[in-house]
Amino acid sequence: MIVKEEFLSRLRKIFDLNLYEVKVWTALLSRGISTAGELSSISDVPRSRTYDILESLEKKGFIVMKLGKPIKFVALKPEEVIERVKKNLAVEAKEKSKRLEQLKNEDVHKELVSLFTQGVKFIEPSDLSGSLRGRDNIYNHLDMLVRDAEKSITLVTTAEGLNRKIEALKHSLEKAQRRGVKIRIAAPITQANKSVAQELSKIAEIRNIENLKSRFAIIDGSQVMFMLLDDEQVHPNYDVAVWISTSFFAKSLEQMFEPVWQKFRGVK
């Protein structure tokens, strides 16, 4: 059986399998039902490892062991495998989330906080900076800044960026608003995002900046996050942002942005 390495590599990433697992699985798919010895020969996986691999695939829901002698293994339909993997991932994610939540009340969490607190004492505020690559990483960091906000949040974004904000940040923005944080969001308002702007207007002051195309955030007048690329021209995986903790620059940027904010009308 000849299966392209590129295809095997894609399967490994999608289904989180190791090389031997993906080789044995695809070998069994090509046969439908087979013994461990036959699969070892087809897949070029050492026979001494094949039984362990088959046992692992069975536990993960990829195959079924057929009773009888010799022991044979049956391949499941790919659609069934996908559903089983989805269910297993959901269960695993729920368990991990529960463990992480419980961690907050354990000594490990206290030690981690202590290490971080001690380390931060020796850092200049302006040294707390970094670059972020990939839109998921950018929004995760922005969400963290919003969750930690105490006084004010200013978000300036594009028309499409406003749609992304409601998906990624709405929950944290709602909590910030309930804490008394002043929230301002500026973006071009179009027919495509008008309903989103109206929904966000319940928790933030929204302004329609028609001719300004920019992407940045200012948190508490002390932290700034700049997205460096045009979101219409860059793939989400290659988006780049810079974050820096600096009251001097953050307050200066707020002062420069204030006339722009006052110039444009609000959204109700």
Q: Please report, for the chain, the start and end positions of each structural domain, with discontinuous segments joined by +.
A: 5-81, 125-263
Give the per-residue pLDDT at 1.
57
Q: What's the CA angle centered on 139, arms 209 and 239, to 5 degrees?
A: 80
Mind giving me the DSSP string for 9-50?
HHHHHHHT--HHHHHHHHHHHHHSEEEHHHHHHHHT--HHHH
Query: Is the CB of residue 257 less than 8 Å from the CB of residue 217?
Result: no
Distance of CA 34 to the CA centre of its chain: 39
Fold exhibited by the domain 5-81: Arc Repressor Mutant, subunit A (1.10.10)
User: What b/e sequence results for 152-187 when a residue is b if at least 16 CB atoms lie within 10 Å of its CB, and e otherwise?
Assistant: bbbbbbbbebbbbbbebbeebbeebeeeebebbbbb
Q: Is the pTM of this model over 0.85?
A: no
Q: 215 Cβ partners below 8 Å, 6+ apart?
A: 156, 157, 158, 161, 226, 227, 231
CATH of domain 125-263: 3.30.870.10
Q: Which two tokens stand for residue 149?
A: 């906000």
How do the pLDDT tens digits run along the chain, 268 residues long?
A: 567 888 888 899 889 899 999 999 999 999 899 999 999 999 989 999 999 999 999 988 899 888 778 889 998 889 989 988 888 888 888 888 888 888 877 777 777 777 666 655 555 555 567 889 999 999 999 999 999 999 999 999 999 999 998 889 999 999 999 999 999 999 999 999 999 999 999 999 999 988 788 999 999 999 999 999 999 999 999 999 999 988 889 999 999 999 989 887 766 6
- Between the two ends of the chain, the Cα-to-Cα distance in Å is 63
User: What b/e sequence results for 232-264 when a residue is b if at least 16 CB atoms lie within 10 Å of its CB, and e otherwise?
Assistant: eeeeeeebbbebbbbeeebeebbeebeeebeeb
**Facing residues of 223 across strands?**
219, 245
Give the per-residue pLDDT at 109.
73
DSSP state of 149: -
User: What b/e sequence results for 214-228 when a residue is b if at least 16 CB atoms lie within 10 Å of its CB, and e otherwise?
Assistant: ebbbbbbbbbbbbbe
Give the per-residue pLDDT at 91.
86
User: Of the candidates 187, 198, 138, which has an alpha carbon nearest to the alpha carbon of residue 159?
Assistant: 187
